[in-house]
Structure 1
């Protein structure tokens, strides 16, 4: 069996590492303060991000092919009607509905044809047909001449409707069925209604209409609308620039030699992936050993990254152990303008930290891979949505569970699950180290604090991840 190693926080029995022998001086919340609620911590993260240097950066203009997932910085108004001209919804014959009208009392003067001819599955009935002469064919992309009285003009799907025509008869409804040469005679069902199978100009969008607002996320359909309006580029908000820090002497980079007591860093890869999905730009990734001096040097003003991050995300080093390098360094006023390290009433992801260094927010997550990922989903992702407009909001629904869930007194429990549209099942166990077991997760069950179990068959709150 292949063993999967995972990043973890260090226990209290371990001694400080090199450079970490100064006393811990936490500012903000005490170790013994009551845990913060999930809702309150989300508000705190959102408020911290609201002071990011990102707000001082100018919008950028991007070609459509580079703008997927970005957020508009200005409204988009239609410079033309959509569709820009009246066109056919079907392959068929454009006609004047008046030419197919059956005057009252004169129905018997029209040719009566057995509707079952050539259609063995049809009912035994008759229909009234109107004979018309075939006009010149109109392919899509070509401007037609006006229709003449008594004409049936072959038109293809999307082709401009000839001026004067007001309906389209599907080609399969013609008698004989199919397209015929100009000058031939074709019969169509009498009594065609104006507007049948016609797409009027401006049916979707009228010129001058605002179709997208500043702050809207550019989904594929939004980008398609911009393209249909003839736009080659759009003005978008700048991407959030993010720096990633992972920590720990026990952690080494994938692809490098691993010592007998070391594990590979999965958290940087997880954070890169979720940030890419969120439309952020990762501008720095660093691994910091359990050495305060290394982190201090990295955060010194003269070592500032170029381009400068608008946000730092750290993973690990914030709990109650003796080697919590992020907590020790950021707790000192000589490094951070503000910091707080606390517990949130949530499992996994209880230890959390917030700080600001040289005006740049720090959001500090615990080191277990699932704790890092759940913290992203519960706090940073929705905060980014509120502040920057991207990524899109997750949907929460109540669904009936197919599994039993254990609640936690005093803490919300976030459980990995799979929802197939009908049955909700737990994926893996509750442990925050169970990374490989979570690969099939597409939903998070959010259990409120409580005692006992939620039995199978009861409704639970589910956050859908797809």
Structure 2
């Protein structure tokens, strides 16, 4: 959670991208660990090493349907001179009372069943007559053995080495081994391992709960009819999807009209389920910038340390930004611009790292690389601004997608990278090497 209010500066101070991000990451703290059941812990970060309590597999078992036998009893077996063994019974998966396999004997065994005492190897059913006295089992007949409990004889047509087709106890992991390290993100394979070693719950940092709301009386819910001067609310959908992609549990509130009191009460209502709040719109210098109006003096009424600082950043798109904390728990709030591309770029640069920090991850940033610019003409960028242009990246090359306009949602949908033009660069020629932020 937030530990202190952000730094403040004069109204005309122009913050760099790095300064703003540094302020956010210095303020946001990882969430406190909790114990969660396995499926609830998916996507969370372990806070302690997990040690294997029991070897996996916990006993020697068969990897095939077949017969458990002694090596000497099938030595030299062939189709012309098969080894003929007495079938003494069945060994099924989960069986506790095991047969004792003696000289000249075999036990029918199923995949996953424990290797019975006395047996040294497993002969696959395909190497036998399946206890039917009809030659080697092939095709459809390879799928089944003789009926369970039908004791008699089995003919074995090939020899087997010691412990062939046997999964050794502890061959996966041994008791006392470290199964997973602290800091591991729990995906499906990790959940499977924890269940396999008998762990029903683990201690993790929970996935942060992120509440997303957009502002603007012109915004209409998709599937509704547009009126004059109205547009569909895409930002709240985009940012909620972004938050989920970053690993959060995200709640979309939707559009709030341009009314400061309504916005403020909506935010206060949502605090109960928020570890982080994200707003979009209403942070620039217009007459209806309700986020600034609603939250600029929130620290005057809340506990010490709360407050939202609204800033101008030396970047394009996304110059107007807000950051701080709100409410009795000092819940972090990031106020993003309202233009679709501006809000998306701002999320990737500032909100995603904040979410990943709340999760307790060490690496909170998107990967970056260097790429050759492929374009029909030079890219231009305003002096003193770090520009982020949409692009597509492949095989060490990046190509711009769409223009620099912060409203171009269609171009954004085809981009998988951000082309970074530094503050001191006003033009980038085709063929030049540029920094690229990889988005997927």
Q: TM-score category by the smaller chain?
A: 0.7 to 0.9
Return the TM-score normalized by structure 1: 0.71
Distance 1:72 1:354 in 2: 29
Q: Post-superposition shift, 1:199? A: 1.6
Q: Deviations over 1:150-178 (max 9, x none)?
A: 55544333232223434444444568532
Unaligned segments of structure 2, at least 5 residues: 1-5, 130-134, 147-151
Residue 95 of structure 2 aligns with which residue?
142
Q: Number of paired residues?
A: 406
- Structure 1 distance, partners of 2:7, 2:271, is 29
Query: How many angstroms apart in 2 are the aligned matches of 1:147 and 1:386?
Result: 58
Q: Structure 1: where are the runs of 5+ without partners?
A: 1-25, 102-109, 115-128
* Partner in structure 2 of residue 160 of structure 1: 114
3-state SS, counterpart of residue 334 of structure 1: helix
Q: Please tell me whether the aligned partners of residues 349 and 371 of structure 1 are also in contact (alpha carbons under 8 angstroms).
A: yes
CA contact (8 A) 1:243 1:309 kept: yes
Q: 2:60 aligns with which of 77, 80, 86?
A: 86
Query: 1:371 aligned to 2:342?
Result: yes
Equivalent of 2:418 in 432, 445, 462 = 445
Task: Report the counterpart of residue 355 of structure 2 in structure 1.
Answer: 384
Asked if residue 227 in structure 1 is aligned to residue 198 in structure 2, the reply is: no
Aligned: 1:42 with 2:32:
no
Match of 2:155 in 1: 185
CA contact (8 A) 2:211 2:278 kept: yes
Change (3 A) 1:423 1:296: closer
Question: How much does 1:265 deviate?
Answer: 1.6
Contact 1:28 1:339 in 2 (8 A): no
TM-score by length of 2: 0.75
Where 1:268 maps in the other structure, the secondary structure is helix
Deviation string, structure 1 residues 208-241 (Cα, Å, up to 9, x no partner)? 4442355543211122222223344445444433
Corresponding residue number in structure 2 for 1:351: 320
1:133 aligns with 2:85: yes
Larger deviation, residues 136-145 vs 78-87: 136-145
CA–CA distance in structure 2, aligned partners of residues 40 and 204 of structure 1: 48
Displacement of 1:72 in angstroms is 4.3
SS of 2:367 mapped into structure 1: strand
RMSD value over aligned CA atoms? 4.0
Q: Which has the higher contact order (CA 8 A, sep 6+)?
A: 1
Contact map agreement 1:91 1:171 (CA 8 A) in 2: yes
CA distance in 1: counterparts of 2:318 and 2:22, whole angstroms: 16
